Structure 1
Amino acid sequence: MEVKAIVKDTGYSALKVRLCVDLVRGKKVSEAITLLRFMTSPTAKVVSKVIKSAAANAENNFQMNPADLKISQIYADEARMLKRMRPQARGRVSPILKRSSHITVVVAD
């Protein structure tokens, strides 16, 4: 059985989140959390929280053993962008795109 957890509109771009996500894909939940704990990237904390949430959903809602859970799918999609303007020379402006992402984790036993 597969159990899902999603976090939406994180403050990090999908490109930065995918660096952490690619490291833990296919690993056991406990191993992935240990791996993310020692990463220096601030996105590792967010990814770790989503993995813990998916494991808790599996344990509490479906009575699955958390020691047996494995990350079957994990991905980061682009979310909405906040568009801001930055003043430039000669009265012009250039855009600033503040990107965010959605992180989805699917665990299975």
Structure 2
Amino acid sequence: MAKGHRSQIKKERNQNKDNRPSAKLSYARISAQKAGFVLDAIRGKDVQTALGILAYNPRYASAVIEKLLKSAIANAENNNGMDPENLYVDECFANKATTMKRIRPRARGMAYRIEKRMSHITVILNER
């Protein structure tokens, strides 16, 4: 059993909330592994460098993550009052989401399954 009243438990849970600015994209139509390659390139970099890397990266995921990073920067600026010059990418990761299953007709009436994978991409910033 939980200790205390429900409102007290909620109050304690909300006090431990992470106040770092972030942005999350759910159900992105790209596999977590492919998004991870791009996220590895920007992890730990300051936001200006990260935007430069994403602008010249030829992968499809870089365009999606660039938009997400700009959203996280705007959240930091507007919601937390942080200066964009001092921000850096503290954490970024892609988790596996649901998979769309599709069928590809094959010879002799058989069918192969095509799995179109999706991911949840999260970018968390912090101030130096």
**Partner of 1:30 in structure 2?**
48
Alpha-carbon deviations, 1:26-78, whole Å to 9, x = none? 00011100111011111101111111111110100010001000111000111
CA distances 1:10-31 after superposition (whole Å, capped 9, x unpaired): 1111111111000000000111
Structure 1 residues not aligned, in runs of 5+: none
With structure 1 as the length reference, what TM-score do the two structures score? Answer: 0.95
Aligned to 1:103: 121
Secondary structure in 1 aligned to 2:30?
coil
Identity of aligned residues (%): 39
**Counterpart code for 1:91:** G
Tell me, in whole angstroms, the C-alpha distance in 2 between the residues paired with 1:81 and 1:36.
Answer: 26
Higher relative contact order (CA 8 A, sep 6+): 1
1:36-47 equivalences under 5 Å are: 36-47=54-65
5+ residue gaps in structure 2?
1-18
